[in-house]
Amino acid sequence: MNLDSMQEILAAAKREGKFFWEIVLETDMQNRGVTRGQSLSKMAEAWHAMREASEVYTGDRRSVSGLVGGQGKLMREYAAGNPIGGEFTAQVIAEALSMGESNACMRRIVAAPTAGACGVMPAVLIPLYWRDNVPEERMLEALFTASGIGAVIAYRACISGAAGGCQAEIGSASAMAAGALVYLRGGTPEQMCHAVAMALKNLLGLVCDPVAGLVEVPCVKRNVIGAVNAIAAADMALAGIESRIPVDEVIDSMGEVGRRLPVEFRETALGGLAATPTGKAVKKRLAGDEKKQRTLTIKDARWKLEKPEQHR
């Protein structure tokens, strides 16, 4: 079936006596013409890549601009002490930072749904996996659940900062994570939908304003709010709190807000934090560095191919 409506996937699942994640898995099998085993093992690859990224993180690397690096390590150390929100929340924050930082520092990550928002899903899943000893199959089912949610958002709204601002990236990741958490804690499909709706509602309107156009500031720390918000939304849903606006309508509104967001707030680095005096200064400094680097490489090339005049 088409993954274009949470309500319809839920109805199909009810009708066929299946879980939400099974419908998503079967859709993938059909779309790509693969077996159940192949689909499951591809998801396992994504899960293992997330875990590996978390395990190999050291905090020693710095990003190209030097703006990002070491924050996850500081938070990991702090989490072992006496953090305000308890150890689990601190671990979630540390994981979100580590992953976002690894992405900025050219390490291997899993885009979920984008590279800039790659920290949200592993930030909620990995600490829970260790704390509750969740079986591996359950984790994969949670990832299929999240993928289905992400697919619906991508279809009805958008998942790129350029199209819809940060709400489309971190907001979508947060909604996916909230849904996965409700599934893992044995919530009902309705509770899962409420969690998705609440997570997305909370981040509606969030702008994409990366300093110097890089996936560094504020992207790395925005992964933290996506993860913590997912936990809050999942806990609310499991407590029996409902979203007054149905999930598909919330997703549609995210798309509408995204389309009407001024272009300055859609990854162009022309507004928000990117347009602050400090943000502009960073951009200027990097432009200088780039120029130096480029002159160097061109001087080193002592050969020429035909001039590509006809392509200009």
Partner 1 sequence: MIDIFDIMGPIMVGPSSSHTAGAVRIGRMARTLLGEEPAKALLHLHGSFAETGVGHGTDKALIAGLLGMAPDDLDIPQSLEIAAQRGLKFSFDQMDLRDAHPNSVLMELAGTSDRRLVMQACSTGGGRILVTKLDGVEVGFTGDYHTLIVQNMDNQGNLSDVTNALALARVNVANMSMNRSSKGGSVMMIIETDDPVPGYIVELLEKQPGILQVIYYRREC
Among 10, 12, 44, 46, binds partner 1 (CB under 8 A): 46
Residue 116 touching partner 1 (CB under 8 A): yes
Closest among 199, 203, 200, 212 to 238, alpha carbons compared: 199
Residue 44 binds partner 1, judged by CB under 8 A: no
Specify the residue for token string 């690397």. 61
Residue 123 binds partner 1, judged by CB under 8 A: no
- Regarding 15 and contact with partner 1 (CB under 8 A), the answer is no
Taking CB under 8 A as the rule, does residue 60 contact partner 1?
no
Closest CA to 217 of 71, 74, 12, 47: 71
Structure tokens at 274: 């990117």
User: Which of 191, 153, 187, 188 is closest to 173 using CA atoms?
Assistant: 153
User: Is 133 near partner 1 (CB under 8 A)?
Assistant: no
Among 10, 115, 245, 273, binds partner 1 (CB under 8 A): 115
Q: Which of 6, 23, 93, 109 forms a contact with partner 1 (CB under 8 A)?
A: 109
In the complex, minimum distance from the CB of residue 161 to partner 1, in angstroms, rounded to a whole number: 10
The nearest distance, CB 87 to partner 1, in angstroms, is 28
Whole-angstrom distance, CA of residue 26 vs CA of residue 45: 18
Note whether 31 binds partner 1 by CB under 8 A: yes
- State the number of binding residues for partner 1 (CB under 8 A): 68
Under the binding rule (CB under 8 A), the answer on residue 205 touching partner 1 is no
The residue among 240, 117, 126 whose CA lies nearest residue 184 is 126
Using DSSP's 3-state secondary structure scheme, residue 142 falls into helix
The residue within the footprint of partner 1, chosen from 16, 45, 132, 136 (CB under 8 A), is 45
Choosing from 82, 186, 260, 298, the residue that interacts with partner 1 (CB under 8 A) is 298
* Contacts with 277 (C-beta within 8 Å, 6 or more apart), sequence order: none
Rounded to whole angstroms, the Cα distance separating 286 from 12 reads 52
Closest by Cα among 88, 56, 86, 49 to 73:
56
Which one among 71, 91, 98, 114 touches partner 1, defined by CB under 8 A? 114
Backbone phi, then psi, for 249, in 5-degree steps?
-70, -35
Cβ atoms of residues 112 and 120 within 8 Å: yes
- Examine residue 178 and tell whether it contacts partner 1 (CB under 8 A): no
> Does 167 interact with partner 1 (rule: CB under 8 A)?
no
The number of beta carbons lying within 10 Å of the beta carbon of residue 63 is 18
Q: For the CB of residue 260, give the shortest distance to partner 1 in the complex, in Å.
A: 20
Q: What gap in Å lies between CA 308 and CA 305, rounded to an integer?
A: 9
Minimum Å gap between C-beta 125 and partner 1 is 11
Q: Are 148 and 3 in contact (CB under 8 A)?
A: yes
Which residues of this chain interact with partner 1, rule CB under 8 A?
2-3, 24, 27-28, 31-32, 42-43, 45-46, 49, 63-65, 102-116, 118, 121, 143-144, 146-148, 150-151, 154-155, 159-160, 162, 176, 212-216, 269, 286, 289-290, 293-294, 297-298, 300-301, 303-306, 308, 310-312
